[in-house]
Structure 1
């Protein structure tokens, strides 16, 4: 192909094409066809796959039966030692490209099966020392070489008895199960230069394992995450010793920017914040970007919580707090008082705050003092997720009557499970929402049409995303904000009345509409189809500009006319 025959995109600089490839890495089925579609794209795409890919490193199949492609595309494969088709001692791994014909065009066959010779023709040899990202199942390590230059490694079901690459930058351990007898051997494998460590715990759990892990963290960590696997039980003895060990470790991690821990008691949260504040006082190089904490057992909170004075000045961009399922059937008043005091001592994030306490009294979460405590001129995102039950004693939305004054830069506001029927309609001093707001999510409350009607005058003209799923709406007030692009109202089971009025009033900017499970009548299907057709189609793909989700109503969808 000569230069003048190339498409304009092929003439872009290498660095620009490389950035496009990075954007495509989230879906190998997108990146790899892009790689073989033009000689100009091949080198940057393969370079990106080596630097940013998360391909599984696993043995090459040697079956005589047809091979399913979907399980291999984008993976790095290694020949088994007995495979005579390749070198006896592997020096290369093989990147699995999409199948292609003699013209190097991607084969879009209906069958995703190929024979072994066809599969081998799809393999691109890559020197093992160039593999920077790899994912390995621990049982495969008996037959696969460890890429010694690997910088980002994911290991499933890790155990002791093997060495990690010396240049390792990021380590993720999934389905990780250790006991007190083996944890010391495993933490000894961590390189001193490791910068990112993520551990997904499984099993019954033990506070001694967490204590040992916290006592042996590499000193240069910038990212540290301890994540709950779905099958993991919360250790009954968690926090007995591990919280203090974690606080001591955090005080020494002077490069930490991202921290998540799913195994804390509420008194452990106090220890964590004290440790992070101590590191800041000791000269941490950068402010914290993300702190996500998951806790349980509020009855262990001391009264009052013993926060250090430095916690008040802790600099962090995002703070997330959520709760394990509580062991308390009801929240005693003295514990509720401790929780309120706990909330009023938390540090104020500069960009994002997410509170998810589904067993807490809403009067604690949406207390006016709590909202005022987190007031910020820079906060962009605010989320409160509550217990999803009605309580008519208080109108908690009144805590947000001055949201535009407390959070003037807010772009996203979420309040779920906290608002009962009439909580907005009966609010005497509703106030207004900040003009910067772009996303408003009031899903999973008990809001009525009267609440929506009272809320509508407060909606800023620039609102682009409105979510009102799982409420008690019977219609959608009009007019809608003129810049709205997303409207989600699924599971409002009584939304079938006056359908044509609000559907016809949808703004021309709308691109996504979700009305699933709303019991809309049969005629609403034709109205939705007409509105979608009126929005037009996308020039390149030919798809409708307005995407509608409408199953679970009185008509089949998509509508066949």
Structure 2
């Protein structure tokens, strides 16, 4: 008797939409709900049920391992969520784990729910009153009933389930797209990420929400929503501190599961309110980010005055805190705040600090009294970021700021310092004090305005420009692999301030010289100093018209974005055709390039060839390309054929 074949499951079968009652702000699922959860495997150790004779080897992978692969896809930039959903529709075996991962896992740099949820208005694309929501975001379908239906936007497909890429295409050129095969209904209780904005205040919060963002003024709420008991991270945007008791509802019921809190303050009426805010911070946090986005007239002149004891007391109580960001702190409070964080090391259960980021407010005059270096035995911080945000007259307080910063704990992995002005003494003092023997990443930059005008720079002495030679390679650790000098180098006269025999550390594999207005003349002075093992070079936002060759032989990424003067080169083949075969990523956005340059880059792509997977090894980012519309002077002007040769998957 012939053996019967197993029934093959259809690819990307849509689950039945769920409905969530808005009776309370914390929602419960409807008892009749079936949703994306129906797609998960009954056994997490077995593979998805697909016809054995038609399955590829990857389709036989167990469900748990497929979920791990899907989580790995989300470790990159926000666009990887789109790639994950494209992976979902490529096979029935991948659909369930990919959708589950897209719903549950979080990408910290991407708001998964759009700020203004779009309501479905049509059955054909675009389904909303405006343009279609981007892939990997949500639209809201709210029919004339008390139920709300969330739809996850998948890659666009036709009624025959054929994928149609939308990028670079006009609406009139698209075939008929199917809402049914381009969206997946998601049960409200399955959403782990949620954003409250003006348009969806009346929608219920998922009862199992773990990551909540509120991007609307909290004063506009009739009643502040109750936090779900599962909440792990909370972000409050446009947060105002006007009255002491006005935000008690916000802080009255912090869930015991809360680990991450981000508050973006837009208004501070007086310091007493700021004290009350510090006093009500939760003690369970591992990550605290306080960003002050106030305009000049929306905070008191003595902001932070008298708040030091309350803030330090709150920090001492957070024994699990590992990441601390405060971008509006008085320079006088830096040492007590860091001492409060280091004081916690006396406790056995205290977690080590991963990150300290401080934005400093500097007074017009240096405070009276001697700065005494504190004792912080056993205190370790991996990443330290210090930036002077506000100052009026730097010279009277510059030495005081350098002294205070020199007392900070040297980070073990990365250091970033932004000052309004660098001198030879400040570079050497801070390098001696803050560069540890294990440091891997060093970033030095200038706060505030861009580099001074050329007429001023030409008359500067070495003490007024960033003293490049003050970075003594012998004083830097052998572990240092990344160096960034942004907005601080002297354009056109860089060679004047480089001592003979000085060189960059040979251990560097990544260098950023972005945003310095450097010219080809400056690159000529720098080119012999580049390490032979350099793999990543960032020259974006400069005034370069050509590159000095030869380039480092192991270069893998080259960023030339926002260099519109590149189009001035009469013989671009001299440097373009010299790009090494090791190059894997090239950024030429907004460089005012035309087809003459584009064809040379296409030749380089062909020379570098294909990977073992059949994809071009060199990926080129061209940014906005002016095919027919006026996108501005600096946009590239490639024809469609050249553009496809630069970014397409084929090298023919």
TM-score norm. by structure 1 comes to 0.83
Q: CA deviation at 1:105?
A: 4.5
By how many angstroms is 1:118 displaced? Answer: 6.1
Q: Within 2, Cα distance between the matches of 1:61 and 1:297?
A: 48
Matched, 1:61 2:119: yes
1:419 lines up with 2:419 in the alignment? no
Any conservation in 1 of the 2:331–2:401 contact (CA below 8 Å)? no
31-40 or 346-355: bigger deviation: 31-40
CA RMSD of aligned residues (A): 3.9
CA gap 1:12/1:216 in 2 versus in 1, 3 angstroms: same
CA distance in 2, matches of 1:412, 1:280: 30
- Is 1:240 matched up with 2:305? yes
Q: How many residues align?
A: 547
Equivalent residues in 2 for 1:83-482, closer than 5 Å: 83-84=144-145, 88=146, 94-98=151-155, 100-101=157-158, 104-106=161-163, 119=179, 124-137=184-197, 140-142=200-202, 144-157=203-216, 158=218, 159=221, 160-180=223-243, 181-203=245-267, 206-229=270-293, 235-236=299-300, 237-283=302-348, 285-299=350-364, 302-303=367-368, 306=371, 309-311=374-376, 314-326=379-391, 328=392, 330-332=393-395, 334-357=396-419, 360-363=420-423, 366-386=426-446, 388-389=451-452, 390=457, 391-394=460-463, 396-402=467-473, 404-420=474-490, 421-424=492-495, 426-428=497-499, 430-445=501-516, 447=518, 449=520, 451-471=522-542, 475-482=546-553
The alpha carbon displacement at 1:381 in A equals 0.8
- Which whole-Å CA distance do the structure 2 matches of 1:232 and 1:191 have between them? 34
The aligned counterpart of 2:563 is 491
| Structure 2 CA distance for aligned equivalents of residues 474 and 262 of structure 1 | 37
Deviation at 1:238, TM superposition (A): 1.6
CA 545–205 in structure 1, closer or farther in 2 if over 3 Å, else same:
farther
Aligned equivalents of 1:437, 1:23: Cα separation in 2: 28
Q: CA 1:401–1:152 in structure 2 vs 1: closer, same or farther (change >3 Å)?
A: same
- CA shift in 2, pair 1:37/1:354, >3 Å: same
The reply on whether 1:46 has 2:111 as its aligned counterpart is: no
Partner of 1:71: 133
Preserved contact between residue 586 and residue 618 of structure 2 (Cα < 8 Å)? no
Q: Aligned-pair distance for 1:500?
A: 3.8
Q: Decide whether aligned partners of structure 1 residues 467 and 119 sit closer, same or farther in structure 2, where only a CA change above 3 A counts.
A: closer
Greater displacement, 360-369 / 34-43? 360-369
Contact 1:274 1:307 (8 Å CA) reproduced: no
How far 1:201 sits from its partner (Å)? 2.3
Deviations for 1:332-367, whole angstroms, at most 9, x for unmatched residues? 3x311112212211211111111123xx22117852
Answer yes or no: is the 8 Å Cα contact 2:322–2:354 preserved in 1.
yes
The answer on whether the counterparts of 2:157 and 2:164 sit within 8 Å (CA) in structure 1 is: yes
Secondary structure in 2 matching 1:291: strand
Match of 1:510 in 2: 583
**How far apart are 1:498 and its partner, in Å?**
5.9
Is 1:29 matched with 2:82?
A: yes
* Offset, 1:129: 3.4
Whether the 8 Å contact between 2:270 and 2:303 is mirrored in structure 1 is yes
Which residue of structure 2 aligns with residue 9 of structure 1? 58
Alignment partners' CA distance in 2, 1:189 and 1:232: 32
By how many angstroms is 1:379 displaced? 1.0
Native 8 Å contact 2:59 2:93 kept in 1: yes
Contact 2:191–2:208 (Cα < 8 Å) also in 1? yes
Residues 371 and 404 in structure 2, CA contact (< 8 A), matched pair in contact too: no
Quote the Cα distance in structure 2 between the aligned partners of 1:127 and 1:549: 39
Tell whether the 8 Å contact from 1:96 to 1:122 is kept in structure 2 after alignment: yes
SS in 1 for 2:305: coil
Q: Determine the C-alpha separation between the residues in 2 that align with 1:29 and 1:294.
A: 35
Query: Are 1:525 and 1:555, in contact at CA under 8 Å, matched by a contact in 2?
Result: no
- CA shift for structure 1 position 545: 2.4
Question: Aligned partners of 1:310, 1:474: CA distance in 2, in Å?
Answer: 51
Please give the alpha-carbon distance, in whole angstroms, between the structure 2 residues aligned to 1:307 and 1:366: 18
Aligned ranges for residues 498-537 of structure 1 at < 5 Å? 499-514=572-587, 527-536=600-609
Asked if structure 2 preserves the Cα contact closer than 8 Å seen for 1:522 and 1:554, the reply is no
- CA 1:8 to 1:111, structure 2 compared with 1: closer, same or farther past 3 Å? farther
Deviations 1:481-502 (A, max 9, x none): 1101223345384873664433
Deviation at 1:145, TM superposition (A): 2.1
Cα shift at 1:224 = 0.7
Distance in 1, Cα, partners of 2:96 & 2:641: 45
Change (3 A) 1:537 1:363: same
Structure 2 CA distance for partners of 1:71 and 1:472, relative to 1, 3 Å = closer
**Any idea what the Cα deviations from partners look like across 1:6-53, whole Å, max 9, x if unmatched?**
223222232332133224453443333432332211221222123125
- SS of match in other structure, 2:90: coil
- Structure 1 stretch 426-435 or stretch 500-509: which is displaced more? 426-435
Tell me whether 268-277 or 22-31 shows the greater mean CA deviation: 22-31
Q: Is the 8 A contact 1:453 1:477 kept in 2?
A: yes
8 Å CA contact 1:202–1:232 kept in 2: the answer is: no
Q: Is the 8 A contact 1:318 1:350 kept in 2?
A: yes
What is the alpha-carbon distance in structure 1 between the residues aligned to residue 134 and residue 519 of structure 2?
50
State how far apart, in whole Å, the 2-side matches of 1:558 and 1:547 are. 15
